[in-house]
């Protein structure tokens, strides 16, 4: 039973309206916080399963010169179109080191490429063995979810935009689609992101009261029934615990933990904060695209795409409103899976997938467009946060730290011993937004051979984190004023 | 047609369609002798343990895969939405979609199940005819306790796959208060459905069993647990009412009872889809990366062959050796075979094709660099059909980068010869020769004599004539799918691997331990000798003591 439902286009138009910078009205400002509480800091990590280039060190993305007002390259064009080029900083010439002569550097990777570059950046830990890329410690979003405070019920949102692998041949799911790991006692647990915009919407706004009185009454009754449902489910599940073996008991306990977390979410009332409101129901999800071959002779422009642009619009709206409502202060949003096979036809007319484009299926421009796709998705969130005023006259973005990091850079490939490879973690770049802690905005910073995980660490420290990230300890001072 | 005669399948297969609740509303097969005694859900069989020396694998509570979830909703609520696949987290493929080790409870799972339960209840109540069929009675008022009790008992048994306990009944019957409050009987139905669909016992197949005396860590599964195992194995969905009746009556406590029930399950039209799914996951064609029309035609071709071999009870080797294939004019033209005029079995003649290895579905798996990959095809056959391990590439080799060609060596066999020297050769010589024997068939299954030109390379690969000669190292040489299939069965490797893959699928275990392999050994010996029939294998599988018992898992 849904409170109300708007046409998706209506919803997106409305959401986009927020992003184009309407005048800040008094009524839009959140109320002063009790006791003069400081404006909350927020933190977001984002990942793209693409390398910067398959051709040259900076590709057609990284500006040639350092400094503010950087050159708008082909890959950065979306930032200009979204009006946030002056808010997004590029940190380039980064190096994610790899194992050599049996010695693994801090935050290093094994020489095999793809699944093992996320952990060093997201968690600051080395990865391995071989191609096993799972981080060996909690990721930055989860750490900051613990540290930034706010509503513990929504400690850290975890979303993914690309809903499926598209590659066929049963290569679906698992760590390919995860970027967040949390520490639970001695256990390090992968966090399955919410992929469905509908599920994400329902999860975030459960407990909100629709404006229409009749709908509000119906929603209240449904909420009460749903609480009864979960109460029964919890009791019945708990009744099994004494009868299960140790392994099943752990599985059941974990399931019940998640049920109780849902019960907690249902018990949350709508926060009484200005502008905190339920967004229009996004409706059913877009269909998930069919499998396809980016390098085959039966290429289809219609397959391998599930309207990731629309999905990102909704998920970034939800992150923004979650911040406005102070439901969470940390989030991760995985834009594409590792080794991304998304069809690029809709982004430049390239008749292939992102992965194949980095391996010579398309020219350098096509790889820049693939990177540009990620930049656009990231920039969309930046624009929405920049359009949200805060009581100090600044914007929500000014109190945030956001980082987009990518799977690879360009350069030496220690696995196949070739230069100019997309399977390289030389010449990597990260995209940073937000003004928390004096983070510079709208600059190109050359940080030669610094670790991309140190970019993440610097962003964490900008919102108050003390100490390091995994095996990394040194922030990049040039990123902060 | 051996099994059709033996099991009386003909009538059911001819009538085709299945109604989730069955023609009589209970899903009872003709003459099943099903009764309405709920039996309390406890085991009623003998207290002794498994046969001396029987292999008993470990078992844990497995979550329904998204496919199983959708099937279960279809059969419980007559709901064909398939919505689980859209809202639940994707199941990792290893290559099957039900690997216990990959199933981790998460917020995404719980939120998805919560939303799905509400959606399903809302859809049901919005369709009066379907609602009345599922509820099973017409209430005489908002607070009709009699009708609600009937519904709870009947639906609850189907949803939890066992009769409800008294305490559970009390919990569910209390939901009638919501109907009274709202003045609408179906508000209670809605709430009950939401609850059942989120019960851990609905989302997971919880197996506990009864301890076997003097055998610590060994448990005899209760009849309802056995029935549930069988139903999800052979139908991919919740047990039909007649099977629950047999469990109530304690008829699944021994091998004969289980075998008899499995015979009935294999007559159920849903078994066809389940067995087809097993093959598609196993052989890598679940999601075909071709055009929608071509993918559908290829999938139908393979499903039809699986159906013929398994349900018309041909020797299982026919899946690989069949001299005919089910195609229409579209696919026949694609392959270059005689046009049948309509969908029909077409004889391969002397084309060099045979069985499923000739299908575009199988041949489309794992291409690379815009063309077939002999290495990938070799890996597919070695790992999926021979169940042999292939180690990952050694340091210094990237499987994503095309081996560089030279002016003198740009045809695939020449490039492979150059790059399979030294330390690479050890592995590549185990894989590539198999793939080269299939090179005359492109990644959509079409016959070709020359390689496909890649316009992005300076050389013209279309000048590369394909030798088409391959070998299975240590076994023999072949040309094309027909000869490869013959070699496979001569080797004796396939039979054991089929048993292993079926075991992984049935038990949801990708990583096997000693108990698993012992079970597989026994099963192979009993039911997978050369010339075996798949139905015999499936029936023997469930009749094993190890299927009716479980061993406590050891924590890692």
Q: Tell me which H or E stretch contains A368.
A: helix A364-386
Of B208, B286, B369, which is closest to A295 when you measure between CB atoms? B369
B64 to each of B67, B205, B229, B418, B467, how far by Cα in Å? 8, 7, 11, 48, 47
Question: Strand, coil or helix: what is B228?
Answer: helix
Determine, for residues A233 and B286 on separate chains, whether the beta-carbon distance falls below 8 Å.
no
Cα dihedral A224, A225, A229, A234, rounded to 10, equals 10
Question: What is the band of A10 on the pLDDT scale with cuts at 50, 70, 90?
Answer: very low
* Phi then psi dihedrals of residue B324, to 5 deg: -140, 165
Scan for tokens 């190096």, then name that residue: A95
pLDDT at B421: 67
pLDDT at B404: 66
pTM of the predicted structure, to 2 decimals? 0.89
A189 reaches B (C-beta below 8 A): yes
User: Which range is least confidently modeled, A298-302, A413-417, B513-517?
Assistant: A298-302
Give the tens place of pLDDT for each residue, B361-395: 999 887 776 778 888 899 999 999 999 988 777 66
**Six-digit token pair at B166?**
């008294």
**DSSP track, B59-127:** --PEEPPHHHHHHHHHHHH-----THHHHSPPPPPSSSS--GGG----HHHHHHHHHHHHHHHHHHHT-
Q: Tell me which H or E stretch contains A49.
A: strand A42-51
Residue A308 · residue A257 · CB < 8 Å: no
B197 reaches A (C-beta below 8 A): no
User: Which whole number is the average pLDDT over B115-136?
Assistant: 97
Scan for tokens 């990284």, then name that residue: A62
Whether omega for the bond prior to residue B95 falls within 30 degrees of 0, making it cis, is yes
What residues in A contact B117, CB-CB < 8 Å?
229
User: Which range is least confidently modeled, A282-296, B148-162, B301-315, B397-411?
Assistant: B397-411
What residues in A contact B201, CB-CB < 8 Å?
236-237, 240
pLDDT at A193: 96
- pLDDT of residue B267 exceeding 90: yes
pLDDT at B450: 85
Q: Chain B closest CA to A140's CA: distance in Å?
A: 19
Question: What is the band of A12 on the pLDDT scale with cuts at 50, 70, 90?
Answer: very low
Determine, for residues A1 and B122 on separate chains, whether the beta-carbon distance falls below 8 Å.
yes
Q: Chain A closest CA to B176's CA: distance in Å?
A: 11
Distance CA A32, CA A269 (A): 20
Gyration radius of chain A's alpha carbons: 22
Residue B319 · residue B484 · CB < 8 Å: no
- Classify each residue of A399-434 as buried b or exposed e, where b means 16 or more C-beta atoms within 10 Å of its C-beta: bbbbbbbbbbbbbbbbbbeeeebbbbbbbbbbbbbb
Sign of CA dihedral B392, B394, B400, B405: negative
Q: Residue B56: left (phi > 0), alpha (psi -120 to 50), or beta?
A: beta
Averaged confidence pLDDT in chain B: 87
A13 reaches B (C-beta below 8 A): no
Question: Strand, coil or helix: what is B215?
Answer: coil
Determine, for residues A415 and B367 on separate chains, whether the beta-carbon distance falls below 8 Å.
no
B365 reaches A (C-beta below 8 A): yes
Residue B421, domain member (yes or no): no
Question: Strand, coil or helix: what is B440?
Answer: coil
pLDDT at B313: 86
What percentage of chain B has pLDDT greater than the value 70? Answer: 86
In residues, how long is chain B?
A: 556
Question: What is the band of A203 on the pLDDT scale with cuts at 50, 70, 90?
Answer: very high
Determine, for residues B111 and A202 on separate chains, whether the beta-carbon distance falls below 8 Å.
yes
User: Which whole number is the average pLDDT over B186-207?
Assistant: 98
Residue B245, domain member (yes or no): no
**Six-digit token pair at A43?**
């933190």
More confident residue, A302 or B190: B190
Q: CB-based contacts of B323: which residues, under 8 Å, 6+ apart?
A: B347, B348, B354
User: Which range is least confidently modeled, A445-454, B50-59, B172-181?
Assistant: B50-59
- Pairing mode of beta strands B218-220, B549-551: antiparallel
CB atoms within 10 A of CB A314: 25
pLDDT at A145: 97
User: Which range is least confidently modeled, A168-182, A183-197, A206-220, B229-243?
Assistant: A168-182
Range of the domain at B194: 62-204
pLDDT at A142: 97
Give the tens place of pLDDT for each residue, B453-463: 766 666 777 78
User: Which whole number is the average pLDDT over A212-223?
Assistant: 90
Give the total number of structural domains in chain B. Answer: 1
pLDDT at A131: 62
Residue B428, domain member (yes or no): no
Residue B235, domain member (yes or no): no
Residue B482, domain member (yes or no): no
CB atoms within 10 A of CB A365: 17
Question: What is the band of B16 on the pLDDT scale with cuts at 50, 70, 90?
Answer: very low
Residue A258 · residue A158 · CB < 8 Å: no
B228 to each of A293, A368, A474, B160, B252, how far by Cα in Å? 38, 52, 56, 10, 11
Interface test with A, best of B89, B100, B289, B396 (most A CBs within 10 A): B289
Residue B513 · residue B531 · CB < 8 Å: no
User: Which whole number is the average pLDDT over A425-451?
Assistant: 98
Nearest Cα to B91, choosing from B114, B109, B113? B109
Distance CA B316, CA B309 (A): 6
A258 → chain B, closest CA residue? B107
- pLDDT of residue B474 exceeding 50: yes
Determine, for residues B368 and A295 on separate chains, whether the beta-carbon distance falls below 8 Å.
yes
ipTM: 0.89
pLDDT at A37: 65
- pLDDT of residue B13 exceeding 80: no
Would you give the distance in Å from CA B379 to the centre of its chain?
21
Residue B91, domain member (yes or no): yes
More confident residue, A184 or A366: A366
Distance CA A74, CA A373 (A): 11
Distance CA A2, CA A5 (A): 7
User: Which range is least confidently modeled, A126-135, A174-183, A358-367, B300-309?
Assistant: A126-135
Residue B474, domain member (yes or no): no
A222 → chain B, closest CA residue? B191
Residue B170, domain member (yes or no): yes
Determine, for residues A199 and B87 on separate chains, whether the beta-carbon distance falls below 8 Å.
yes
Question: What is the band of B201 on the pLDDT scale with cuts at 50, 70, 90?
Answer: very high
- pLDDT of residue B276 exceeding 70: yes
What residues in A contact B87, CB-CB < 8 Å?
196, 198-199, 285
Distance CA B234, CA B244 (A): 15
pLDDT at B277: 98
A76 reaches B (C-beta below 8 A): no
pLDDT at B49: 81
Give the tens place of pLDDT for each residue, B387-431: 998 877 766 666 666 666 666 667 777 777 766 666 677 778 888
- pLDDT of residue A127 exceeding 80: yes
**Six-digit token pair at B352?**
């060099």
Question: What is the band of A1 on the pLDDT scale with cuts at 50, 70, 90?
Answer: very low
pLDDT at A20: 35
B198 reaches A (C-beta below 8 A): yes
pLDDT at B315: 97
- pLDDT of residue A5 exceeding 50: no
Averaged confidence pLDDT in chain A: 89
Distance CA B435, CA B378 (A): 5
B377 → chain A, closest CA residue? A169
């Amino acid at each position: 039973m849904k409170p109300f439902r708007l046409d998706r286009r209506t919803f997106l138009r409305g959401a986009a309206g927020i992003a184009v910078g309407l005048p800040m009205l008094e009524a839009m400002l959140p109320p002063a916080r009790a006791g003069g509480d400081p404006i909350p800091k927020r933190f977001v990590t984002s990942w793209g399963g693409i390398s910067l280039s398959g051709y040259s060190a900076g590709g057609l993305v990284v500006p040639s010169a350092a400094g503010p007002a950087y050159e708008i390259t082909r890959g950065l064009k979306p930032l200009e179109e979204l009006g946030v080029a002056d808010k997004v900083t590029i940190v380039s010439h980064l190096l994610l080191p790899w194992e050599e002569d049996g010695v693994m550097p801090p935050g290093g990777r094994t020489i095999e490429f793809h699944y093992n570059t996320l952990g060093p950046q997201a968690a600051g830990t080395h990865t391995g063995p071989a191609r096993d890329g799972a981080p060996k410690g909690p990721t930055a979003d989860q750490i900051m979810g613990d540290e930034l405070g706010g509503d513990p019920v929504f400690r850290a949102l975890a979303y993914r935009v690309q809903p499926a692998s598209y590659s066929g041949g049963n290569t679906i799911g698992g760590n390919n689609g995860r970027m967040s790991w949390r520490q639970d006692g001695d256990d390090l647990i992968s966090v399955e992101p919410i992929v469905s915009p509908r599920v994400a919407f329902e999860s975030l706004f459960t407990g909100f009261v629709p404006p229409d009185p009749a709908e509000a009454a119906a929603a209240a009754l449904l909420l009460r029934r749903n609480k009864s449902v979960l109460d029964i489910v919890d009791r019945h599940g708990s009744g099994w615990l004494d009868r299960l073996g140790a392994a099943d008991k752990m599985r059941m306990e974990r399931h019940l933990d998640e049920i109780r977390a849902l019960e907690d979410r249902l018990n949350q009332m709508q926060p009484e904060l200005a502008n905190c409101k339920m967004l229009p129901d996004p409706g059913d999800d877009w269909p998930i695209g069919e499998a396809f071959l980016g390098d085959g002779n039966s290429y289809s422009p219609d397959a391998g795409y599930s309207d990731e642009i629309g999905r990102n619009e909704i998920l970034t709206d939800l992150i923004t409103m979650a911040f406005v409502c102070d439901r969470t202060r940390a989030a991760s949003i995985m834009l594409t899976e590792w080794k991304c096979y998304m069809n690029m036809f809709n982004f430049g007319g390239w008749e292939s997938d992102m992965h194949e484009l980095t391996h010579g299926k398309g020219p350098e421009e096509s790889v820049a467009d693939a990177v540009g796709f990620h930049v656009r998705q990231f920039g969309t969130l930046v624009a929405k946060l920049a359009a949200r005023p805060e009581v100090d006259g600044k914007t929500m973005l000014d109190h945030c730290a956001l980082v987009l990091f990518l799977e690879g850079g360009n350069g030496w490939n220690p696995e196949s011993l070739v230069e100019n490879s997309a399977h390289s973690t030389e010449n990597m770049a990260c995209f940073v937004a937000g003004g928390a802690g004096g983070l510079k905005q709208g600059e190109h910073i050359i940080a030669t051979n610094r670790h991309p995980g140190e970019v993440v660490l610097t962003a964490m420290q900008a919102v108050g984190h003390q100490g390091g990230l995994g095996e990394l300890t040194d922030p990049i001072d040039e990123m902060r004023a | 047609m051996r099994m059709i005669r033996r099991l009386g399948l003909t009538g059911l297969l001819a009538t085709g369609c299945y109604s989730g609740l069955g023609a009589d509303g209970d899903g009872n097969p003709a003459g099943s002798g099903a009764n309405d005694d709920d039996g309390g859900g406890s085991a009623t069989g003998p207290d002794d343990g498994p046969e001396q020396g029987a292999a008993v694998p470990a078992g844990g509570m497995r979550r329904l895969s998204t496919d199983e979830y959708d099937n279960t909703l279809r059969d419980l609520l007559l709901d064909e939405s398939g919505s689980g696949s859209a809202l639940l987290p994707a199941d990792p493929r290893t290559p099957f979609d039900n690997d216990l080790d990959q199933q981790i409870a998460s917020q995404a799972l719980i939120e998805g199940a919560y939303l799905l339960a509400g959606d399903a209840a809302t859809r049901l109540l919005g369709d009066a005819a379907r609602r009345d069929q599922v509820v099973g009675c017409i209430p005489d008022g908002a607070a009709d306790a009699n009708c609600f009790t009937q519904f709870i008992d009947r639906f609850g048994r189907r949803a939890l796959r066992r009769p409800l306990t008294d305490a559970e009944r009390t919990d569910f019957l209390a939901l009638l208060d919501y109907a009274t409050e709202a003045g609408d009987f179906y508000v209670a139905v809605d709430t009950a459905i939401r609850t059942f669909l989120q019960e851990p016992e609905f989302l997971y197949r919880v197996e506990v069993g009864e301890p076997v005396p003097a055998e610590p860590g060994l448990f005899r599964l209760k009849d309802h647990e056995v029935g549930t195992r069988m139903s999800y194995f052979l139908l991919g969905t919740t047990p039909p009412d007649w099977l629950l009746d047999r469990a109530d009556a304690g008829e699944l406590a021994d091998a004969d009872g289980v075998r008899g029930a499995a015979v009935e399950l294999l007559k159920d039209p849903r078994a066809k889809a389940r067995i087809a799914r097993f093959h598609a996951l196993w052989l890598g064609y679940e999601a075909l990366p071709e055009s929608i029309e071509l993918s559908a035609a290829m999938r139908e071709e393979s499903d039809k062959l699986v159906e013929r071999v398994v349900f018309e009870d041909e020797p299982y080797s026919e899946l690989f050796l069949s001299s005919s294939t089910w195609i229409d004019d579209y696919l026949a033209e694609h392959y270059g075979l005689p046009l049948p005029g309509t969908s029909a079995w077409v004889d391969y003649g002397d084309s060099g094709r045979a069985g499923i290895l000739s299908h575009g579905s199988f041949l489309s798996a794992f291409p690379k660099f815009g063309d077939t990959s002999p290495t990938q095809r070799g890996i597919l056959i070695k790992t999926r059909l021979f169940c042999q391990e292939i180690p990952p590439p050694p340091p210094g080799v990237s499987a994503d980068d095309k081996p560089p060609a030279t002016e003198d060596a740009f045809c695939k066999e020449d490039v492979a010869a150059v790059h399979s020297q030294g330390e690479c050769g050890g592995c590549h010589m185990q894989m590539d020769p198999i793939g080269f024997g299939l090179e005359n068939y492109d990644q959509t299954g079409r016959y070709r004599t020359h390689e496909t030109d890649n316009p992005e390379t300076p050389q013209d690969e279309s000048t590369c004539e394909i030798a088409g000669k391959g070998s299975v190292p240590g076994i023999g040489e072949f040309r094309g799918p027909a000869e490869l299939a013959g070699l496979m069965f001569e080797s004796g490797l396939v039979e054991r691997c089929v048993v292993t893959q079926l075991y992984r699928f049935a038990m949801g275990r990708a990583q096997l331990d000693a108990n698993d392999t012992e079970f597989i050994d026994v099963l192979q010996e009993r039911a997978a000798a050369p010339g075996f029939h798949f139905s015999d294998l499936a029936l023997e599988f469930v009749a094993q003591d190890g299927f009716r018992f479980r061993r406590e898992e050891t924590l890692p």
